[in-house]
Amino acid sequence: MSRQTAPKSIGLRTYHITFTTYGSWLLGDARGSTRHGGIYIYPDPALEEQMRERCNYDEITLSEEARRVAYKGILEEARFRNWKIHVLNVLAKHVHVLVTAPCETSSSIVLARIKRGATEALKRAGYFKDRQIWTRSGDIKVINTPGYFHRVYNYILNGQTSKPFSYEEK
């Protein structure tokens, strides 16, 4: 992937979207966690255990093939909606996306559609047909400066345990 520049078009907004696989990052986790609405929850082993007991399914870890399927599903969804994916990394237990969409599309809709693209692709390929794949929400940050854009881009591209798949592998 080549170095990208932050979009300057009026009427567009860029987001760093992160979401996790089901059961992989529960409230109370040792890394800290965020409740829907952005409230930070400090590490709490008892809370994490309570949350694990409430899970209906085992934790999901995506295989490399499932990661590729989800990756392609997200790209297809973004292409269908004319959104620009700057960088995308589907990892075993979470996904990072740097995406630009029209301002009139709410950030929660962008998150939901990206997750839907991944979900539909995985289910069409036979993965997780009868169960939840992702946590209910996700993290959405608005990218509002070129410096912030470049830090997030680099973080998604180089700061993860696995490198993103090549767009040429679509």
Q: Where are the alpha helices (DSSP H) in the chain?
A: 45-54, 64-81, 107-124, 146-158
The stretch 6-31 carries a mean pLDDT of: 77
- Cα dist from 86 to 17, 48, 105, 118, whole Å: 12, 34, 18, 17
Q: What is the CATH number of the domain that holds 70?
A: 3.30.70.1290
**What residue numbers bound the domain in which 122 lies?**
12-24+59-165
The stretch 150-158 carries a mean pLDDT of: 94
Residue at 37 is within a domain: no
The pLDDT assigned to 54 comes to 80
Residue at 130 is within a domain: yes
Give the list of residues 6+ apart from residue 157 with CB closer than 8 angstroms, or none.
1, 87, 89, 163, 164
Residue at 70 is within a domain: yes
pLDDT band at 35 (very low <50, low <70, confident <90, very high): low
The stretch 100-120 carries a mean pLDDT of: 96
% of residues, the chain, pLDDT over 90: 59
d(CA 122, CA 158): 25
Residue at 91 is within a domain: yes
Residue at 48 is within a domain: no
pLDDT at residue 27 tops 70: no
Give the list of residues 6+ apart from residue 24 with CB closer than 8 angstroms, or none.
59, 60, 61, 93, 94, 135
The stretch 112-121 carries a mean pLDDT of: 98
Number of domains in the chain: 1
CA dihedral 128, 141, 88, 30 (to 10 degrees): -60
Closest Cα partner for 132 from 24, 33, 16, 47?
A: 24
Residue at 33 is within a domain: no
The pLDDT assigned to 110 comes to 97
The pLDDT assigned to 52 comes to 79
pLDDT band at 32 (very low <50, low <70, confident <90, very high): low
Residue at 142 is within a domain: yes
Higher-pLDDT residue of 64 and 57 is 64
Residue at 85 is within a domain: yes
pLDDT at residue 141 tops 80: yes
Angle at alpha carbon of residue 63, lines to 24 and 29, rounded to 5° = 10
